[in-house]
Amino acid sequence: MIRRVGAVLLLVLLVYAFYLASRVMVERRAVSARVDAIIASADPADVTLSPARTALLLNVEDSSFLTNKGVDFTTPGAGMTTLSQSLGKRIFFKHFRPGLRKGELIVLTRFALYPKVDKQRTLKAFLATAYFGNRKGRPIIGMGPAARAWFGRPLARLDDRQYLSLVAMILAPATFDPVRHPAANAARVARIERLLANQCRPTGLRDVMLEGCALR
């Protein structure tokens, strides 16, 4: 009985591995063109950040972005989802759901997205596809549209506090909605400011809420 169960489990693993390998091969052929299409469909001003604001975003969302291979399981505060994986959710799945899909996302990001799309294009596509909640009954997709929806001005014209407010939303747009939950948004912005000023550090990999930067 035990041998039979073991054989079945091994067969399932082999089938799953074959499925993943097949998906990687398919996605590797299409991912570069898909990312380029996303970037081409966006206003260039909506996917362009100054070096300082790029650094700010990466320090909060994925500080090893420029050097990792789409996967990071060690950096404090990084959580289990890199910026590249956030993009992967949108280009590899119609409706991403946590669970077994997470393993598939990691594999596709590491072996399909990372080898075929450079970091600059990955970042631009992320900026074009990031979700920023709902405003007046419609979903806000992309940091540029979010700047206009939440603050009524282009992305490049946001002041530092407004920009940080958008960065604060990325983790959980509904929770940190600056209109419905201004106090929660402001509290997260304050934690981000302390992080950027090197006044604190996340408590570990999963400290995406930046509890290590909360005022005591």
Q: What is the pLDDT of residues 174-213, one digit of tens each?
A: 999 999 999 999 999 999 999 999 999 999 999 999 999 9
pLDDT in the model for residue 10: 73
DSSP, residue by residue, 34-64: HHHHHHHHS-GGGG---HHHHHHHHHHH-TT
* 93-101, long-range: CB < 8 A, 24+ apart: none
The CA distance from 46 to 127, in Å, is 7
* pLDDT band (50, 70, 90) for residue 164: very high
pLDDT in the model for residue 196: 95
The sign of the torsion formed by the CA atoms of 124, 125, 128, 133 equals: negative
- The count of other CB atoms within 10 Å of the CB of residue 112 is 24
CA 177 from chain center: how many Å? Answer: 17
Q: Return the SS3 of 114.
A: helix
pLDDT in the model for residue 5: 67
- Per-residue pLDDT averaged across 89-102, rounded? 89
Longest dimension (CA), the chain: 67
Mean pLDDT of the chain: 93
pLDDT in the model for residue 8: 65
Beta bridge partners of 210: none
Burial class (CB in 10 A: 0-12, 13-18, 19+), 40: exposed
Hunting for tokens 């992080």 — which residue is that? 195
First to last CA, the chain: 56
Which sequence spans correspond to the domains of the chain? 1-47+70-129, 132-216
- Per-residue pLDDT averaged across 63-73, rounded? 95
pLDDT single digits (tens) 108-156: 999 999 999 999 999 999 999 999 999 888 999 999 999 999 999 999 9
pLDDT in the model for residue 153: 96
What tokens appear for 62 in the block?
Answer: 């994925």
- What percent of the chain clears pLDDT 90, i.e. is strictly above it? 82
Beta bridge partners of 134: 139
pTM of the model: 0.92
pLDDT in the model for residue 191: 96
The CA distance from 63 to 201, in Å, is 12
Contact 174, 133 (CB under 8 A): yes
* pLDDT of 84 over the 80 cut: yes
Computed on alpha carbons and rounded to an integer, the radius of gyration of the chain in Å comes to 19
pLDDT in the model for residue 137: 86
Q: In 4-122, which ranges are E strands?
A: none
